[in-house]
Chain A
Amino acid sequence: MGCSGGETGENPAAFAVFLKNVVFKWPGQQRPTLDIPIFSVSPGEHVFISGPSGSGKSTLLGLVAGIFSPASGTVFVNGVCLNELGSAKRDMFRGDCIGFIFQQFNLIPYLSILENVLLPCRFSPLRLERARALSGSAAAEARMLLERLDLSPSLWGRPVNRLSVGQQQRVAAARALVGRPSILIADEPTSSLDADRRKVFLRLLLGECRSTQAALLFVSHDQSLAEDFSVVAHLPELNRAGGEEAS
């Protein structure tokens, strides 16, 4: 598996995310789930990825995160070719460069809100260092992020399962942002929120991404959110394969 940018002459190092001729197959399946000739995200760019369920959105995020390896093709993140990294290196790289927000149940129930936010700093020394450099200490950075995401200090002492879903998602956003990763991946982060809260959450998230200059990959099937993004990608159009066989 080569790691060249391809004959078209694009420079993969110029992108936050760069996929070329990526084919992904689940073990035991005949047809590939994903077959993407080219997909790229510039640094600081906010990309809205839409597609029906089963179109391979989560698989695409898994490839970018280095959780899955493509059958063929190359994946670059921050100019680093993931194909060349071993799985432990990819895990470290993910911890260093990518922040995640999931659909729901984002928080670890037995950790405090602050500990949940600090989780990436525990696994990535790089993010710990960056948080310290920015705010003096990782905890100070976490508190700052929580306040910027409208979570007042009066809530911080609560067990995480006593927070509302919207509050939980904002804690998750703070965790994704702590230590300033260059890429944020949000996998349907708003689908468990009601319509009003969706907009509010998205505004907060986009604002923070702008101020930290992080690229954002935002996956949703809710087209109404797309208007706030600079780039909108429809996965079935990117993907030559028809998505997952089942479901």
Chain B
Amino acid sequence: MRRFSYLLRLAGKSAWNRRGTLGIIVFSIALSTTLLLGIEKLRTQIRESFVQSVSGTDLIVGARGGSMQLMLYAVFHLGGATNNMGWDSARKIAEKDEVAWTIPISLGDSHKGYPVVATTGAFFEHYRFRSDKRLELAEGKWIETLFDVVIGAETARKLGYSPRQKIALSHGGSGARLVEHTDKPFTVSGILASTGTPVDRSLYIGLAAMEAIHVDWRGGAPIPGLRITAEQVTRFNLEPRTITAMLVGLKKRSHVFAFQREVNEWKSEPLMGVMPGVVMDQMWSMVNTGEQALLLISALVTATGLAGLAAAILAGLGERRRELAILRSAGARPLDILILTACEGGLIVISGVICGLSALFVLVAAISPILADNYGIFVYLSPPAAGEWALLGCICLAGLAASLFPALRAYRMSLSDGLTVSI
């Protein structure tokens, strides 16, 4: 053990002595570590970020269409719905015995690029994220009057809104010429605490409010000559006729398959119910090929780095034959020479991995706000997860294997050279 620790120290000094050359190798190993772990981290955290956004939802119900599309617009407000579902169907589903709660969702409007979601109080009560967290207000109050809007943390921060601010919603998602509902302004009643989900980037109004701002509209445009003011609108029936989708929580999870069948065979209109987990699995299997390709490329980069490591140590051995003979004369066994050389490789790999990890942390810290702002993807600093540990282990093992190659060469050399080296 004492001998090993001496050899380790010796290896460290020897490596430090040739730090100029080996530094480049450390850099290339650091680079591959950052790449490999970065891709893995991004991959798992994007998945996590998606999965965490629908904790507790057993079924997403909407008009029949693509199941992936349904989930993307109902949960992440990405893309748009081609068909709506009837409010009467939604009400009938909500009244079923096995249903614990439902969150109706109506989409279509936006505010400065952020989606406006019309829903009911059930959303604030039953929506869960990160396994079992519920929505909380950071400031202000929940929706109380018709033209109240509760906004997500990110929306508030980016637009600089605070409670009692008056805002106008725009008709449609995003585009060059949006018509604004300036005649019926909303008041920010509350700001939600940050959740790390798409909720942060949305605005929430009541279903009735969504009806109200479109009361004098027909076919996606204001009816010419018809003006119904915000005061007059309360006299109308503001119950929606259709909604975009509905999140459903069941009393018992085990009922989900039977209930899904019931929804899919709905008589009065073509509906579909999708299980978020199943759809996400479909989604992952689609992006899987790309991810695998990325991982493969970074694995190849790592292999290149490690080949460089082996080459650098191997090239160094020629000029170190003398040194190895001196060690042998002082009583070092050929096995000690093998350990010494392998340790040197191991030290280089470990310093490369440590540098790579630090670089990754800096990088994640730098890009996570950009990802969150532009894509709603939440990546955060975290100690390496199981998959990342596995990758780190692989890098270290491969590095050891790569340095074993020159180590064996040194071993054989010191066996045949003995104490006399002709230079």
Contacts and interface: CB of A to CB of B under 8 A. Distances in A.
A65 B336 CA distance: 17
B372 interface: no
A92 B331 contact: yes
Contacts of A68: 418
A119 B327 contact: yes
Given A91-B331, A123-B336, A106 B326 contact: yes
A58 B420 contact: yes
B326 A119 contact: yes
B331 A95 contact: yes
A91 B13 CA distance: 23
Nearest to B17: A110
Given A61-B419, A91-B328, A187-B420, A109 B323 contact: yes
B17 A123 contact: no
A124 B336 CA distance: 13
Interface in B409-423: 418-420, 423
Interface string B316-335: 00000011011111111111
Interface size range on A against B? 20 to 34
A102 B17 contact: no
Interface in B41-100: none
B329 A100 contact: yes
A94 B420 contact: no
A197 interface: no
Contacts of B333: 87-88, 91-92
Contacts of A124: 330-331
A200 interface: no
A158 to B, nearest CB: 15
Contacts of A175: 330
B419 A67 contact: yes
A108 interface: yes
A91 B16 contact: no
Interface size range on B against A? 20 to 34
Nearest to A63: B418
A70 interface: no
B320 to A, nearest CB: 9
A108 B331 contact: no
A50 to B, nearest CB: 17
Interface in B1-19: 3, 6, 10, 13-14, 16-17
B213 to A, nearest CB: 77
A136 interface: no
A104 to B, nearest CB: 9
Contacts of B16: 110
Contact of B17 (A109, A120, A187): A109
A62 B418 contact: yes
B330 A119 contact: yes
Given A120-B331, A123-B332, A123-B336, A108 B419 contact: no
Contacts of B331: 91-92, 94-96, 120, 123-124
A122 B6 CA distance: 7
Contacts of A108: 323, 326-327
B13 A110 contact: yes
A65 B326 contact: no
A105 interface: yes
A117 B289 CA distance: 59
A58 B333 CA distance: 19
B13 A65 contact: no
Contacts of A67: 328, 418-419
Interface string A56-89: 0010011001011000000000000000000110
A65 B328 CA distance: 10
Contacts of B3: 122-123
A67 B423 CA distance: 19
Given A119-B327, A122-B330, A110 B420 contact: no
Given A91-B331, A110-B14, A123-B330, A100 B322 contact: no
Nearest to A126: B331
Given A109-B17, A110-B16, A111-B13, A95 B420 contact: no
Interface string B325-355: 1111111111110000000000000000000
Given A62-B419, A68-B418, A91 B332 contact: yes
A169 to B, nearest CB: 13
A107 interface: yes
B163 to A, nearest CB: 67
A96 B329 CA distance: 11
Interface string A29-61: 000000000000000000000000000001001
A105 B335 contact: no
Contacts of A122: 3, 6, 330
A212 to B, nearest CB: 17
14 contacts: A58-B419, A61-B419, A65-B329, A67-B418, A94-B331, A100-B329, A100-B330, A100-B419, A105-B322, A105-B423, A111-B13, A119-B326, A123-B3, A123-B327
8 shortest A-B CB distances, which residue pairs? A95-B331, A123-B331, A110-B17, A67-B418, A100-B329, A91-B333, A119-B330, A120-B330
Interface of A: 58, 61-62, 65, 67-68, 87-88, 91-92, 94-96, 98, 100, 102, 105-111, 119-120, 122-124, 175, 187
